[in-house]
Amino acid sequence: MKLEAKGLKKDYTRAGKSGSVFEAVKPLDFALKSGELVEITGRSGSGKSTLLSMMAGMLVPTGGSICIDDMDIYAMEEEERSKLRNGRIGLIPQGNTALLSLTVLENVMLPFVLYHKEPPPEDRAKELLMKVGLFDMKDERPNALSGGELRRMAVARALLMKPAVLLADEPTAGLDDANVELVMELLRSAADEGASVLLVTHENEARKYADRVFNMAGGRLCSN
């Protein structure tokens, strides 16, 4: 699946200073192909998460377009876009997005449960929890998990639907070296199996897994 941004930008109007416009993402062109893992690094506040959220269909751009296989996702109705997002795009958002009332296993199965009436793919969810080293925690509630365990749970959840596009926002934040490697290898194998993978990170630990690396600074994307 090809994901392509053209002239994509995001401006925010800052509260406080009336009318002051902040260009979080300056107009950029970017394409992500099937089978590749692209890494975007950059300092805090440079616009990485804003870019990723727009790519994920979660944040309406101020200008430009994002096409998935030549379909403009922001020209679609909201309902159609959320279906596409759920079925084809796996998102690992920044921070903790666990639902506290569900168990770890239920959290991982959530992307399926939201849009299907059939029983969820429990075996696949368990297999993914095994892969991220959380199988023994499957019946716990998220508040019993450490920060790094919650990141790994989010990775398992994003992989559940075998997404064609995988967008990961600092998926390895707070992980030790062995778990960084584990998560990066899962992302790399998703790409090797044909997914288009976009990874945003603060640091550069993921460089050796990436096919291409970009740097973001002040809302501008530069190839590295």
Ligand X SMILES: Nc1ncnc2c1ncn2[C@@H]1O[C@H](COP(=O)(O)OP(=O)(O)OP(=O)(O)O)[C@@H](O)[C@H]1O
23 backbone dihedrals φ, ψ, rounded to 5°:
-90, 90
Instruction: Quote the CA–CA distance of 203 and 180 in Å, as a whole number.
Output: 12
Write down the least CB distance from residue 148 to ligand X, Å: 17
Which of Mg ion, ligand X, none does 42 bind, CB closer than 5 to 8 A by kind? ligand X
Taking the least distance from each CB to ligand X, the nearer of 67 and 173 is 173
Stretch that binds Mg ion, among 93-101, 114-122, 144-152, 215-223 (CB under 5 A): 93-101
Write down the least CB distance from residue 144 to Mg ion, Å: 26
Which of ligand X, Mg ion, none does 196 bind, CB closer than 5 to 8 A by kind? none
Write down the least CB distance from residue 169 to Mg ion, Å: 6
Among candidates 1, 37, 3, 6, which has minimal Cα distance to 221? 6
Interface positions with ligand X (CB under 6 A): 12, 14, 22, 24, 42, 44-50, 94, 202
Taking the least distance from each CB to ligand X, the nearer of 106 and 169 is 169
Taking the least distance from each CB to ligand X, the nearer of 14 and 208 is 14
Instruction: Quote the CA–CA distance of 224 and 210 in Å, as a whole number.
Output: 12
CA 30 to chain centre: 16
- Strand-strand pairing, 212-217 and 220-223: antiparallel
- Strand-strand pairing, 37-42 and 196-201: parallel
Write down the least CB distance from residue 155 to ligand X, Å: 17
Which of ligand X, Mg ion, none does 12 bind, CB closer than 5 to 8 A by kind? ligand X
Write down the least CB distance from residue 56 to ligand X, Å: 12
Contacts of Mg ion in 33-62 (CB under 5 A): 48-49
Among candidates 5, 84, 2, which has minimal Cα distance to 51? 5
Per DSSP, 95 falls in state S
Pure H helices in the chain: 48-55, 78-88, 104-113, 122-131, 147-159, 177-192
Taking the least distance from each CB to Mg ion, the nearer of 48 and 131 is 48
Which residues in this chain contact Mg ion in the complex, by CB under 5 A? Answer: 48-49, 94
